[in-house]
Structure 1
Amino acid sequence: MSETAAASTPLLPEYDVVVVGSGGGALTGAALAAKAGLRTLVLERTPLIGGTSAYSGGACWLPGTEVQQRAGLPDSTEGARAYLAAVLEKPDQDRVEALLAQAPRLVSALEADPLMEFEWIPFSEYYDAPGRVPMGRSIQPKAIRRDELDPRVGAILRPPVERDRAGRPGRSTLSGGQALIGRLAAMVLRDGGTIAVGHDVSGFGRDESGRVTTVLATGPDGPVEVRATRGILVAAGGFEGSPERRSLHGTPGRAEWSMAPRGTNTGDVIDAAAAIGAATDWSGEGWFCPGLLQPDGSGTFTLGFRSGLMVDQTGQRYGNECLPYDRFGRVMAAAPERTPSWFVFDSSEGGRLPAIAMPEGDPAEHLAAGTWVQADTIEELAVAAGLDPVVLTATVERFNGFAATGVDEDFGRGTDEYDTFFASAGSPNKALVPVAQGPFHAAQFVLSDLGTKGGLVTDASGRVLDEGGDPLPGLYAASNSTASVFGSAYPGPGAPLGAAMAFASLAVEDMLR
């Protein structure tokens, strides 16, 4: 749909709250605002809602809630505080404390609504640090059937990534990020909110007192100007889709390798806020991951390597392939010769990639495009991949020796809980499986990301600050449109979504004061 959607009437000239973006953070803010009785408008640039959140597994790193208590987990706000203290470098402690205090309140408020229900999912956190919860503390919305929601939601909900990129519709049962976006959007509509797709926000206006009150956008029928009496919440993603902004801010990777939906998250809204005085911070870089290179030049988020090994252009390993994806992505980014890399694996899984790639693609199409190569021997595989046969053979033999002893003497693969979370076949180390069954395969990998994490500077209430450190009245921000509360770290599954939701809800609370 390329018209105003989920609304039976044209846009009003004025609302209480205007939300820019439609991901998990944006819709959390919109749902809470609408539930509080505020006239709420959501503006989405594309014809579909959900952004990268709709592609995600829906994990939310929101510690210390009733959901973890119901699951009997040894989780607490205090434990999460200790964990972040060990993981984060030079954090803004006021924002950290705001996140920790808000997480249980937010989940309670959302679960009080019949449209929202969370559950714990086992998924290991990303650092071996004090306060870590065994098998993780992340939660996610329970799956729900599409026909249980307002049909207007299904009409504009972005499909899962593997279907969206192929131009296919979504599934009948919504799970993960689909369930999160679907449930939140249904809450917005039920409580009288408006979701308008196809509206590209280009600027903001301030009144004579300096308060940010106006959103400028282009809709299907041309330019529109909407006023917000309580506040404007910017939660429109980062700048990962803009090659120019990535280059300007020194962000590793490429726009075509990012997981953001095509045509989204180009940073225009961040720059529009900066144009009226908002402060920015680009130091967080991105939420990185190894990306399986596709025949069309895109990259796809990959995690959970069960076997195989990653080598650079010299044919040598350079890290623990079973590291959490952001941590391995940062290892990839540390040296130019590591991109593209080659992931070498055997036929023990029938020629399929021994990992979770979203989407993986058709092996035959990969082979035809040269993004994968195949050979009967490691030496022949090296030649096909343009690698030194002697070096690659020695690398594989050394790795297979580690698999036999169960000890990765080079990078310690299999020594952490996360390393073995997806593995099961290796012995004596589950994460170390020999590359021994021909024919052999190699797949090209690039540095992908789940979004950038630099942008508008905000305080503990989600208020956007100016260059002097003072709030810009009326303007709030959350999600990847902001400089991340986690800095360059990625604490655990759902950290981007959890923080986006928490600070969006804090922004709405401030608007209600």
Structure 2
Amino acid sequence: MPFDESFDLVVVGSGASAVAAACVAKSQGLTSVIIEKLDKFGGSTAYSGGVFWMPLNPYLEQGDSMEDALRYFEATAGDSGPASSLERRKTFIENSPKVIALLQQHGMQFEHSRWPDYYSDRPGGSKEGRSLNAPLFDLCELGEWQDKVGHSPNMPQVPVNTPDYCRMTNAKTSFKAKLLAAEAGWMMLKNVLLRRKVRGSGVAVQGRLLQIALREKLPIWLGTKVNSLIEENGRVVGVTVEQDGKERRIGATRGVLLNAGGYAHNRAIRDVHQPFGIDPRWNWSSPGDTGDLIGQVEALGGYTDLMDEAIWVPGSMDADGTPYFNVPMGTGKPHHIAVDAKGSRFADETCAYMEFGQRMIRTGGQTWAIMDSQARKKYPWGPCLPGSTPEKWIESGYFIRDDTIEGLAVKCGMDPQTLRETVDRFNGFARKGVDEEFHRGESVNSRWVGGNTHKPNPALGEVSKPPYYAVKLCLTNVGTAGGLMTDEFARVVRQDGRPIEGLYATGNSTASVMGRAYLGAGASIGASLVFGYVAAKHAAAAND
């Protein structure tokens, strides 16, 4: 059957890499189209903190090297299977500065987040951090498209970027953080007075990328669902889409790039691969993150890996079903600890959130955040500012309160003696400034999370002032980390390593190049951006 319309490159999904891939195609004299099934642009990137983890990026004052980045991969991701092969790692590292340069040529702006790598103390780790973010962006610059950028309903639409928000959690204890909070308040007032829509985080990233796409006149089809892949003689040559109530056949002469996210909102897939009970309300990714095409790709011979993994960002859920992120920017602050169902600590509360989630799963039971009145006085918890704890949180059972540690343990179903011993042991560590159990507060990143103001260790503070509080933790997540297996050219591959011709994938549609680790803030978005760029470069040369 003939195609209704054809392009050289068809990009399925409007996440981080879509515009970069389309820009590569245009630079090579090729045509492309970005197809998004939702009526909003941006995918899960628009719902995210909007940070990119990018080795060799030009903003690193202390520099970087392929050798250091590879050492850090090895020390952190280790042997994670073919998704994180040496070839894929090298491709990711080598092409990180190239995609940055490409986007800068088209007007994209970046800022150094100054967020330490999550394992900054390991070989090759960067203490200044390899993460970048986009500056704040006024959506009004998009004209008639200003309301077509997606955003998370769980994240307030404010003119603050994620790295600065993290710093602002120390506003009660740091003058610099107070200044940041005051600046954010002034920006919010200016938004109202000047009728602006200045935004930060993932909305700023995708707003800027959408602006590039509009300036370059790159075709974008919103509200258009890809129903199937079209295969001829073992090669993917196009897709069928549902557009305006009609099915159309769209050809792809060079390739189809799957950039459609993972399967965070596909309950059937998650129940098979993640049988430890994921409440759908814990998902913070785009609602389009449904894994629609995984089965079709498997039917073509593709296979998956790491399907039991997710980008865990553990938090809590109030009685109204609203989820909050609390690890590590809640649990990692002084005067907080996290314990298992028995009342024992099980992790460094400042560690990378994906690792913390994995440790939660391994406990096999309920986990809790424990804090005292000092914590509530000095630090926020979710949307609640320091200095108060809403009485409705207590009345609803979201927060459990007691004047003694033993009484708190009983209310939570823990052994009172175990929790008492845990708290006493931790308080001893806090007084000495050394966590002998989980080494909290030893790395640069751990101290950054703690706030760099508390003494003698920025991440350690006694849990010793009543009343005491407990909150159930849950496996909130921002997407899945498993998916289709791809090679160093972002081609979807079969079990024997042979590529499915004409089919590429990137981002959360794939098994992560980071394996089972999260190397730094924005690791998933950085990888998505790079491999979308790599896929487009390879597709552009495919028939040359």
The residue that corresponds to 2:468 in the other structure is 440
Give the TM-score normalised by the residue count of structure 2.
0.83
For residue 506 of structure 1, report the CA deviation from its aligned partner.
0.6
For residue 243 of structure 1, report the CA deviation from its aligned partner.
2.2
Q: Is the 1:414–1:431 contact (alpha carbons within 8 Å) kept by the matching residues of 2?
A: yes
- For 2:10 and 2:279, how far apart are their aligned partners in 1? 28
Q: Which amino acid aligns with 2:260?
A: A
Q: Is the 1:124–1:492 contact (alpha carbons within 8 Å) kept by the matching residues of 2?
A: yes
- For 2:263 and 2:36, how far apart are their aligned partners in 1? 16
SS at 2:418's partner residue? helix
- For 2:472 and 2:311, how far apart are their aligned partners in 1? 20
| CA deviation profile, 1:487-508 (whole Å, cap 9, x unmatched) | 1121111111111111100111
The residue that corresponds to 1:204 in the other structure is 229
Residues 1:176 and 2:169 aligned together: no
For 1:483, which of 487, 490, 511 is the aligned residue? 511
| CA deviation profile, 1:364-416 (whole Å, cap 9, x unmatched) | 44334322222333333233333333332332222222212222232222122
SS at 2:448's partner residue? coil
Q: Which amino acid aligns with 1:344?
A: I
Q: Which amino acid aligns with 1:400?
A: N
The residue that corresponds to 1:285 in the other structure is 309
Residues 1:418 and 2:410 aligned together: no
For residue 157 of structure 1, report the CA deviation from its aligned partner.
0.7
For residue 480 of structure 1, report the CA deviation from its aligned partner.
0.9
The residue that corresponds to 1:494 in the other structure is 522
Question: Number of residues paired by the alignment?
Answer: 493
Quick one: structure 1 residues 379 and 180, their matched pair in 2 at CA, closer, same or farther if it must change by over 3 Å?
A: same
Give the TM-score normalised by the residue count of structure 1.
0.88
Taking only the aligned residue pairs, the percentage that are identical comes to 33
Farther-moved stretch of structure 1 (316-325 vs 472-481): 316-325
For 1:396, which of 403, 423, 426 is the aligned residue? 423
Residues 1:145 and 2:138 aligned together: yes
- For 2:530 and 2:283, how far apart are their aligned partners in 1? 23
Q: Is the 2:19–2:210 contact (alpha carbons within 8 Å) kept by the matching residues of 1?
A: yes
For residue 137 of structure 1, report the CA deviation from its aligned partner.
1.6
- For 2:377 and 2:39, how far apart are their aligned partners in 1? 37
| CA deviation profile, 1:3-48 (whole Å, cap 9, x unmatched) | xxxxxxxx96222221111111233323433454433222222222
Q: Which amino acid aligns with 1:175?
A: G
Correspondences of 1:116-127 after superposition (within 5 Å): 116-127=108-119
- For 1:435 and 1:473, how far apart are their aligned partners in 2? 58
Residues 1:25 and 2:30 aligned together: no
For 1:75, which of 64, 75, 79 is the aligned residue? 64
Residues 1:259 and 2:283 aligned together: yes
Q: Is the 1:246–1:252 contact (alpha carbons within 8 Å) kept by the matching residues of 2?
A: no
For 1:234, which of 229, 244, 258 is the aligned residue? 258
- For 1:358 and 1:494, how far apart are their aligned partners in 2? 25
- For 1:87 and 1:354, how far apart are their aligned partners in 2? 30
Q: Is the 2:48–2:285 contact (alpha carbons within 8 Å) kept by the matching residues of 1?
A: no
The residue that corresponds to 2:413 in the other structure is 386
For residue 238 of structure 1, report the CA deviation from its aligned partner.
1.1
- For 2:392 and 2:244, how far apart are their aligned partners in 1? 38
Residues 1:343 and 2:332 aligned together: no
SS at 2:313's partner residue? strand
Q: Is the 1:257–1:447 contact (alpha carbons within 8 Å) kept by the matching residues of 2?
A: no
- For 1:430 and 1:477, how far apart are their aligned partners in 2? 42
For residue 300 of structure 1, report the CA deviation from its aligned partner.
3.3
The residue that corresponds to 1:135 in the other structure is 128
For residue 255 of structure 1, report the CA deviation from its aligned partner.
4.9
- For 2:418 and 2:454, how far apart are their aligned partners in 1? 24
- For 2:77 and 2:433, how far apart are their aligned partners in 1? 32
Quick one: structure 1 residues 222 and 158, their matched pair in 2 at CA, closer, same or farther if it must change by over 3 Å?
A: same
Quick one: structure 1 residues 76 and 386, their matched pair in 2 at CA, closer, same or farther if it must change by over 3 Å?
A: same
Q: Is the 1:283–1:488 contact (alpha carbons within 8 Å) kept by the matching residues of 2?
A: no
- For 1:227 and 1:381, how far apart are their aligned partners in 2? 62
- For 2:350 and 2:196, how far apart are their aligned partners in 1? 30
Q: Which amino acid aligns with 2:63?
A: P
Q: Which amino acid aligns with 1:281?
A: D
Residues 1:244 and 2:236 aligned together: no
For 1:51, which of 31, 34, 43 is the aligned residue? 43
- For 1:449 and 1:334, how far apart are their aligned partners in 2? 16
Q: Is the 2:4–2:249 contact (alpha carbons within 8 Å) kept by the matching residues of 1?
A: no
Residues 1:88 and 2:77 aligned together: yes
Q: Is the 1:35–1:188 contact (alpha carbons within 8 Å) kept by the matching residues of 2?
A: no
Q: Which amino acid aligns with 1:173?
A: V
SS at 1:476's partner residue? strand
- For 1:269 and 1:110, how far apart are their aligned partners in 2? 29
Quick one: structure 1 residues 505 and 266, their matched pair in 2 at CA, closer, same or farther if it must change by over 3 Å?
A: same
Structure 1 alignment gaps of length 5 or more? 1-10
For 1:409, which of 408, 416, 436 is the aligned residue? 436
Quick one: structure 1 residues 210 and 508, their matched pair in 2 at CA, closer, same or farther if it must change by over 3 Å?
A: same
- For 1:155 and 1:37, how far apart are their aligned partners in 2? 31
For 1:314, which of 334, 342, 353 is the aligned residue? 342
Q: Which amino acid aligns with 2:100?
A: V
Q: Which amino acid aligns with 2:401?
A: Q
Quick one: structure 1 residues 261 and 59, their matched pair in 2 at CA, closer, same or farther if it must change by over 3 Å?
A: closer
Residues 1:218 and 2:261 aligned together: no
Residues 1:465 and 2:493 aligned together: yes
| CA deviation profile, 1:157-211 (whole Å, cap 9, x unmatched) | 112453479xxx998113222221111122222222222222232211112x332
The residue that corresponds to 2:7 in the other structure is 15
- For 1:371 and 1:350, how far apart are their aligned partners in 2? 15
Residues 1:65 and 2:57 aligned together: yes
Quick one: structure 1 residues 362 and 482, their matched pair in 2 at CA, closer, same or farther if it must change by over 3 Å?
A: farther
RMSD, matched Cα:
2.9
- For 1:226 and 1:352, how far apart are their aligned partners in 2? 56
Farther-moved stretch of structure 1 (188-197 vs 319-328): 188-197
Farther-moved stretch of structure 1 (471-480 vs 243-252): 243-252
Quick one: structure 1 residues 371 and 325, their matched pair in 2 at CA, closer, same or farther if it must change by over 3 Å?
A: same
Quick one: structure 1 residues 147 and 287, their matched pair in 2 at CA, closer, same or farther if it must change by over 3 Å?
A: same
For 1:159, which of 151, 154, 172 is the aligned residue? 151
The residue that corresponds to 1:273 in the other structure is 297
Q: Is the 2:21–2:533 contact (alpha carbons within 8 Å) kept by the matching residues of 1?
A: yes
